[in-house]
Amino acid sequence: MITLTRAESPGLRSRMDWMLAAAALGLCTIGTLAILSAASPLPYYGRVVQTHFVALAVGVLAFGHRSWLRLGHVTFQPTAMACICMVLVLASFLDKRANKAHTMPVFLLAGALVAPIALLILKQPDLSSTLVFFVMTLAMLFCAGASVSHLACLAGYGAVTLGLPVLWTLLSYRPEIAASPVAAFLAGLTHPGLRLLLAMAGIFAAAALLWRVCALARVPIHWIYFVTASLVLAAGLASAVVVNLQMKVYQRSRFVAMVAPEADSQGAAYNVNQALVAIGSGGLAGKGIFQGTQSHLGFLPERHTDFIFAVVGEEMGFWGACGVVLLYLLLIWRVVSAARLARDRYGFLVCCGIAAMFAAHLLINVGMCLGLFPVAGIPLPLLSYGGSSLVVTLWALGIVVNVYSRHYAFL
């Protein structure tokens, strides 16, 4: 279906072999696993949660992530697997409650279903995978017909949870801004304590006050909105404190590198800078395949995994990079088409989830290479080197093919 499997790895034959083996393994799993999993996905759920606990317990420390699982000679990233499982589980769950998808209880239950896996990944810590998870969940709930206001609450909650730690980090790097009273107040909320409680109470009081003002001004807004808004804010604040405590120094510096690259040109900003130089120096037509100086002379870090798009940009230029983006959009479009043609709601939702997964990976990875997004350890599916990612991607595509083929009557 897609022949993007160009391993632009630094010529290491063993890596190529391993990649090909993974591809073969992936293709084998497509047929078998896909059919099985599509038939009854729920038993996998327990397996996934179990796998993550194992990953945390005996996980191999690789790149600062405790996300690699070692089985004999083979290391494996369970996070990638979790994506597929989450899609299947959530699709199945929402399919069964098709008529009540817009109600609050279903929405909350769906959240409760996803939360343990998301928390486990966050604990690893893998902020970017959590973000992918979040995007996928939102997309699937949206496509399943969940209430937009519920989704807005969830998005708001997520924004506060992830946004506040980023804000705090930036404030700590910019003391001149932190000196202002508002910033000082915000910066003081990083740790649980009396001040935090006061802030939460303040949120509720402010909401109540605003409601009174609206009522007096005869602006007809239902009180439930104020309560919801303050609840979301307070919950977001609480989880932001947790996320902030969990955040590692390197993660913070990535945000800083994104906003103020001059602060640390040798550290976190180095990677993005070199990626930008690689892509920018490619020009319209590129330097020619295997002719990239940034990638082949070692200036571009992680060139065969996370920053592979920069290699494409450097060696194949603007046309090549646009071509890759277009091919991805084509791929996503095919997945979306499969969703449209799906015979049942389950297939539809699974395809939506997988499309969202691809889209999230594409946007985050390419955005990172182009300096639009903080550095995140997310591979570009089908292009980056990595067995786990390839197996999971092919698995996902297999499921899509499965859904697509079932729309014909003879299966």
Partner 1 sequence: MGAAVTGGRTPLYDRLEVLWTLCYCAGAVLALRLFQVQVAQNMEYARAAERNRTQMIRKAAPRGRIYDRSGDVLATSQAAFSLIYMPGKQNDDAYLQRLARDLTPSLKGDYEVILDSLKRSVREESAIRLAENLPPHTMFQLSELKTIYRGIDLIVEARRYYPYGASLAHLLGYLGRMDERDWKLLKREGYRVDARIGKLGLEKIFERDLRGVDGGIRMEVDAQGRLKRVLENIDWQAGANLHLTIDGKLQRAAEVALHKSPSGKGAAVVLDPRSGRILALASVPDFDPNQFLQPESSANLKELPEFNLATQGTFAPGSTFKIITSAAMLNEGKVDPHDGIYCPGYYDAGKRRFLCWEKKGHKHMEFLSGLANSCDVYFYRMGIKTGGDLIEKYEHMFGLGTKTRIALPGEKRGNVFGPQARAARGLSWHDGDTCNLAIGQGEVLVTPLQMAVVMGAVANRGVLWRPYFVERIEYPGDRPEYRQKPEELGRVQLKPGTWALLDEGLQLVVKSGTGGQVFTPGLVIRGKTGTAQNPQGGDNAWFVAYANKEGSQEPEIALAVLVQHGGHGSAAAGPVAKKILHAYFGVEDGAPAPRVAKSTAAAAALPAALLHELRPAQPPTRAR
Interface residues with partner 1 (CB under 8 A) are 92, 95-96, 98, 139, 142-145, 274, 276-284, 293-294, 297-299, 313, 317-318, 321-322, 325-326, 328-329, 332-333, 336, 339-340, 343-346, 348, 352, 355-356, 359, 362-363, 366-367, 370, 372
Return the bridge partners of 75, or none.
70
Smallest separation (angstroms) from partner 1 to the CB of 375: 16
> Whose Cβ is closer to partner 1: residue 353's or residue 386's?
353
Give Cα 390 to chain centroid, integer Å: 16
Smallest separation (angstroms) from partner 1 to the CB of 392: 20
Smallest separation (angstroms) from partner 1 to the CB of 92: 8
> Whose Cβ is closer to partner 1: residue 99's or residue 216's?
99
Smallest separation (angstroms) from partner 1 to the CB of 51: 25
> Whose Cβ is closer to partner 1: residue 162's or residue 355's?
355
Smallest separation (angstroms) from partner 1 to the CB of 381: 15
> Whose Cβ is closer to partner 1: residue 202's or residue 301's?
301
Smallest separation (angstroms) from partner 1 to the CB of 166: 20
Smallest separation (angstroms) from partner 1 to the CB of 299: 5
Three-state SS string over the chain comes to CCCCCCCCCCCCHHHHHHHHHHHHHHHHHHHHHHHHHHHCCHHHHHHHHHHHHHHHHHCEEECCEEEEEEECCEEECHHHHHHHHHHHHHHHHHHHCHHHCCCHHHHHHHHHHHHHHHHHHHHCCCHHHHHHHHHHHHHHHHHHCCCHHHHHHHHHHHHHHHHHHHHHHHHHHCHHHHCCHHHHHHHHHHCCCHHHHHHHHHHHHHHHHHHHHHHHCCCCCCHHHHHHHHHHHHHHHHHHHHHHHHCCHHHHHHHHHHHCHHHCCCCHHHHHHHHHHHHHHHCCCCCCCCCCHHHHCCCCCCCCCCCHHHHHHHHHHHHHHHHHHHHHHHHHHHHHHHHHHCCCHHHHHHHHHHHHHHHHHHHHHHHHHCCCCCCCCCCCCCCCCCHHHHHHHHHHHHHHHHHHHHCCCCC
The CB-side HSE value for 48 (13 A sphere, CA atoms) comes to 26
> Whose Cβ is closer to partner 1: residue 229's or residue 359's?
359
> Whose Cβ is closer to partner 1: residue 17's or residue 344's?
344
Smallest separation (angstroms) from partner 1 to the CB of 253: 18
**What is the C-alpha to C-alpha distance for residues 293 and 278, in angstroms, rounded to an integer?**
8
Smallest separation (angstroms) from partner 1 to the CB of 292: 9
**What is the C-alpha to C-alpha distance for residues 209 and 332, in angstroms, rounded to an integer?**
47
> Whose Cβ is closer to partner 1: residue 321's or residue 391's?
321
Q: Are 227 and 200 in contact (CB under 8 A)?
A: no
Two tokens, residue 80:
């990638």
For residue 298, which amino acid is it? G
> Whose Cβ is closer to partner 1: residue 66's or residue 345's?
345
Smallest separation (angstroms) from partner 1 to the CB of 300: 8
> Whose Cβ is closer to partner 1: residue 128's or residue 294's?
294
> Whose Cβ is closer to partner 1: residue 120's or residue 139's?
139
CB count in 10 Å sphere of residue 343: 14
Smallest separation (angstroms) from partner 1 to the CB of 48: 20
**What is the C-alpha to C-alpha distance for residues 321 and 282, in angstroms, rounded to an integer?**
10
> Whose Cβ is closer to partner 1: residue 109's or residue 332's?
332
